Amino acid sequence: MTEHTIVQCTFERHADAILAIFNDAIVNSTALYDYKARTPQNMVAWFEAKRAGGFPVIGVEDSDGVLLGFGSYGTFRAWPAYKYTVEHSVYIHGGHRGKGLGRVVMQEIIAAARQNNVHALIGGIDATNSGSIALHERLGFRHVGTLPEVGFKFGRWLDLAFYQLLLDTPAQPVDG
């Protein structure tokens, strides 16, 4: 793997690069069950939601400061009892996949989740995405269920597999 740096992504510095990575995933893969490319205005709302929720946006840059990939997490479900559970996502630029960067970003996401007293990380992964599934399994995630044919893209039904990692945090969870 080439030299890289972990960064906390900001709207000002990284929105355009994140938008390009998102849009590549939308147009060319089932990593996102979305049909239309996102716009710069979508990124304003996306970063604002991350800021408002206190959710990290962690990137990996090369030695020239080019964003190679990023990851984040957000609300899993909107009810209060889910406050210790998040759903994460990681996206790597198409030209840099298969170089271990997904693992680097995932390890940073897990560390941030632990620091923020998250108990459960959930990944919703297209069931045919063997690379992402293998990565999650290597990091200790376990398959907890598959929802068959819940998405439709590229003229076919898509199954959504859920992978979960339980952390030892928080030390003292509370209701309310």
pLDDT tens digits for 71-124?
999 999 999 999 999 999 999 999 999 999 999 999 999 999 999 999 999 999
Q: Kindly state whether residue 176 falls inside one of the protein's structural domains.
A: no
pLDDT of residue 92: 97
Binning pLDDT at 50, 70 and 90, where does residue 162 land? very high
Exposure of 78 by Cβ count < 10 A (0-12 exposed, 13-18 middle, 19+ buried)? exposed
pLDDT band with cut points at 50, 70 and 90 for residue 2 = low
Looking at the 3D structure of the chain, how many domains does it have?
A: 1
In a domain, residue 123? The reply is: yes
Domain extent at residue 55: 4-166
CATH number at residue 73: 3.40.630.30
Residue 34 has pLDDT above 90, yes or no: yes
Give dist(CA 21, CA 44) in Å, integer. Answer: 16
Asked whether residue 173 is domain-assigned, the answer is no
Does the residue 27 lie in any domain?
A: yes
Report the C-alpha gap between 170 and 84 in whole angstroms.
Answer: 8
Q: Does residue 17 fall inside a structural domain?
A: yes
Q: Look at residue 29 and tell me whether its pLDDT is greater than 60.
A: yes
pTM value? Answer: 0.95
Asked if residue 146 is part of any domain, the answer here is yes
> What's the mean per-residue pLDDT of the chain?
96
Q: Is residue 50 part of a domain?
A: yes
pLDDT of residue 3: 86
Whether residue 120 lies inside any domain: the answer is: yes
Q: Is the pLDDT of residue 1 over 90?
A: no
Q: What is the mean pLDDT of residues 153-157?
A: 98
Relative to beta strand 142-153, strand 85-92 is: unpaired
